[in-house]
Amino acid sequence: MSVFQFITLRERPELKETAASWFHSKWNVPKEAYLACMDAYLNRETEYGWYLCLHNGRIIGGMGVIENDFHDRKDLSPNVCAVYTEEAFCGQGIAGHLLNMTVEDMRSKGISSLYLVTDHTGFYERYGWEFYCMAQGDGEPDMTRLYIHR
């Protein structure tokens, strides 16, 4: 049976470059944008963290927390972003564990409401997220679902 390791980037800062490249490969957001957010977290300029799941030392899942995840509701902050699990590992509870880890970490830092945008329905509700409203993604023609975790 495989063993997953769930960590924050602060626990393994040497993974910063690898993590930024991994997130870039999944979401096509510039690697430099990830590095800037990760540096701010690692330098303790923000408590908005980065959360990873490792399998045999390799990143197979992750997510971050940022001010705004490229949508028009700038008043709804912070946002969980870049939620991704490698396809071969889907259905094993990795994203759910990372979501719960993120919520608990933010709550321990005094941040009780988190937001996220997604096209998925039914998944996030399993982890205590509620549909909040529709939001307009930057440069997106269609509205997208925005969720809250209180």
Domain boundaries, the chain: 4-109
Dihedral sign of CA atoms 118, 40, 31, 62 in order: negative
Output the pTM of the full model: 0.94
C-alpha distances out from residue 82 to 1, 23, 27, 49, 106, Å: 27, 7, 7, 12, 16
DSSP state letter for 64: E
For 12-62, the pLDDT digits (tens) are: 999 999 999 999 999 999 999 999 999 999 999 999 999 999 999 999 999
- Could you identify the residue written with the tokens 């979501």? 99
The CATH number fitting domain 4-109, selected from 3.40.630.30, 3.40.50.1820, 3.40.50.2030, 3.40.50.2300: 3.40.630.30
